[in-house]
Structure 1
Amino acid sequence: MNIKKLKENAVIPTYGSEYAAGADLYAAIDNPVTIAPGATEFIGTGLAMEIPMGYAGFVYARSGLSCKEGLAPANKVGVVDADYRGEITVALYNHSNEAKTVEPGDRIAQMVIAPFLKVDFTEVGKLSKTVRGVGGFGSTGNK
């Protein structure tokens, strides 16, 4: 996949293991950024990507950063469309009760490149019946 460094200190994404689905994204910032409790800061990766058509980049939290430090993408899952050519930026939200600092070069999120289906939506008056029906929010656990 084609990738362009927009900043000299940008780091090409890396996979943590042979079978990792998510590639780590790194902070391409010039100075440390402190995120106050309950606040969001936009952290650039210094990278632009040419994601293949029919695919998207899904930006997820890194488990260690979110569980141990309380930092995770503010939008829960970021979606990078194949036609986007700007800098990949992560909106990091601080869920903890203390300020957290992101240092230049820190791993801040992970991106999974995956195919998706684009469908045509058709408005109808009725939907087909299923055993589940309209049950949601835990309904399949109640039998």
Structure 2
Amino acid sequence: MQLKVKRLEKSGVPPMPVAYQTEGSAGLDLAAAISEPLEINPGEVILIPTGIAVELPGPEFVGLVFARSGLSTREQLGLANGVGVIDSDYRGEIHAPLYNFGKQPRRIEPGQRVAQLVVMPICRVEVAYVTQLGESRRGEGGFGSTGRLIEPEGNVR
């Protein structure tokens, strides 16, 4: 299976290679295609270009852009949108909207790895509007309800 990657040279900034860092890596690292360092202040979001566009193997695949765990834990920089979704028909540049959730300004260097791309299969479904849903043990229990006993009357213990 092949992921087609188009390198976008803008303002003379060549994009870094898209690569798995180890044999067991699930995600392809995406790097900042910037010509000079950027500072992200606390509470600020900056859209970081990666200098690439992709063509997924087909409509049965999705590209998911995740934060890099080291950048998040050490630098307090995460993705502002949680997880980015790249649809199979999108051909534009991939960006990483980095959010500084820390208390100090953080710096992004040219070529620094800022996110990771995971390509996964998806299942497209047919939507059916119904008036009733099937029963389940969990029922309507949400937010923190799993692992707790739900009595038949709906009371949680």
Does residue 110 of structure 1 match 2:112?
Answer: no
Counterpart code for 1:102: I
Q: Partner residue of 2:7? A: 5
1:42 alignment counterpart: 47
Within the candidate set 14, 35, 38, 2:19 is matched to: 14
Correspondent of 1:59 among 65, 89, 99:
65
Alpha-carbon distance in structure 2 between the residues aligned to 1:140 and 1:27: 40
Larger radius of gyration: 2
TM-score, normalising length: structure 1: 0.96
Offset at residue 5 of structure 1 (A): 0.6
How far 1:138 sits from its partner (Å)? 1.3
Count of equivalent residues = 143
Q: Distance in 2 between matches of 1:140 and 1:93?
A: 31
**Which of 131, 137, 141 is the equivalent residue of 2:143?**
137
CA distance in 2, matches of 1:115, 1:33: 34
Shift of residue 89 of structure 1?
Answer: 0.6
- Give SS of 2:146's match: helix
Partners of 2:19 and 2:57 lie apart in 1 by 18
Query: Are 2:30 and 1:25 equivalent residues in the alignment?
Result: yes
CA displacement, residues 5-35 of structure 1 (integer Å, 9 cap, x when unaligned) = 1025201211121111111100011111111
In the alignment, is residue 128 of structure 1 matched against residue 134 of structure 2? yes
Counterpart amino acid of 1:11? Answer: M
Q: Which AA in structure 2 matches 1:9?
A: P
Shift, 1:132, TM fit? 1.0
CA distance in 2, matches of 1:81, 1:10: 21
| Unaligned residue ranges in structure 2 (runs of 5+) | 150-157
- Write the distance in 2 (CA, Å) between the matches of 1:2 and 1:81: 14
Equivalent AA in structure 2 for residue 72 of structure 1: G
Distance 1:3 1:140 in 2: 41
Letter in 2 for 1:94: N
Identical-residue share of aligned pairs (%): 46
